[in-house]
A and B are shown apart, each in its own frame.
Chain A
Amino acid sequence: DSGVTQTPKHLITATGQRVTLRCSPRSGDLSVYWYQQSLDQGLQFLIQYYNGEERAKGNILERFSAQQFPDLHSELNLSSLELGDSALYFCASSTGQVATNEKLFFGSGTQLSVL
């Protein structure tokens, strides 16, 4: 058990809908990362937050947004969903201190199916 909690585990929705994925980081971790894993794309970095502030942005679509709350949990909002958004969405957390012996701890992921 990595200590990172993601909910829900599975989500089935229709095109055009909006969903929210939730992530609670490991106790003590200040940084949260979101990744999208599609069958042929590997792990695509979406966005990173550190202590409530956006720190780095990857290939995140404009239809997607995220935030990190004061209690450090994070939510990833996906709107106007398309079939191609179907993927496994991972959250990871870390201390945010990359120069130390930091590593990412991953949640078990949310499997999103857009029908």
Chain B
Amino acid sequence: AQKVTQAQTEISVVEKEDVTLDCVYETRDTTYYLFWYKQPPSGELVFLIRRNSFDEQNEISGRYSWNFQKSTSSFNFTITASQVVDSAVYFCARGSGTYKYIFGTGTRLKVLA
């Protein structure tokens, strides 16, 4: 199976620390799509970002940044100056032309005040 691996099950940081969530994916597809979703304590999954395989530009959105490296099949997510409201489970996912969106097992981030 073409997996998405999030090796960090749970991370705890103190507010204002930077934190990086790792994501490693497997794929045999030439074209594929990578995503990050946030699941706050309320439970609903919220879309954060989509990155296409043919676009390796990194992206920054406020305190969030993403590092996509095809050479290592990784799509890591960094939160700068973390806040308590960032506490959530974060999922990395991969989609492809076969239409299935495969999710990792998630990383629970706890930001302590």
Binding site for B on A (CB under 8 A): 2, 31, 33, 35, 41-43, 45, 48, 50, 55-56, 58, 88, 90, 92, 96, 98-99, 101-109
Q: How many residue pairs bridge A and B at CB < 8 Å?
A: 60
Q: Who on chain A is nearest to B91 by CB?
A: A43
Q: Which residues of B contact A43 (CB under 8 A)?
A: 91, 93, 103, 106
User: Are A108 and B43 interface neighbours, CB within 8 A?
Assistant: yes
Q: Which residues of A contact B31 (CB under 8 A)?
A: 99
Q: Which of B50, B96, B101, B103 contacts A42 (CB 8 A)?
A: B103
User: Are A42 and B47 interface neighbours, CB within 8 A?
Assistant: no
Known: A55-B99, A103-B50. A41 touches B105 (CB 8 A): yes
B contact face: mostly helix, strand, loop, or mixed: strand
Known: A43-B91, A45-B103. A103 touches B47 (CB 8 A): yes
Give CA–CA (A88, B44) in the complex, Å: 11
Give CA–CA (A104, B45) in the complex, Å: 9
Q: Which residues of A contact B50 (CB under 8 A)?
A: 101-103
Q: Who on chain A is nearest to B33 by CB?
A: A98
The smallest C-beta distance from B80 to any residue of chain A, in angstroms, reads 23
Chain B 24-61, CB within 8 Å of chain A: the 1/0 string? 00000001010101000001111100100000000000
Q: Shortest 3 CB-CB distances between A and B: which pairs? A: A42-B105, A43-B103, A106-B45
Chain B 80-103, CB within 8 Å of chain A: the 1/0 string? 000000000001010111111111
The smallest C-beta distance from A57 to any residue of chain B, in angstroms, reads 9
Give CA–CA (A48, B102) in the complex, Å: 12
User: Are A104 and B101 interface neighbours, CB within 8 A?
Assistant: yes
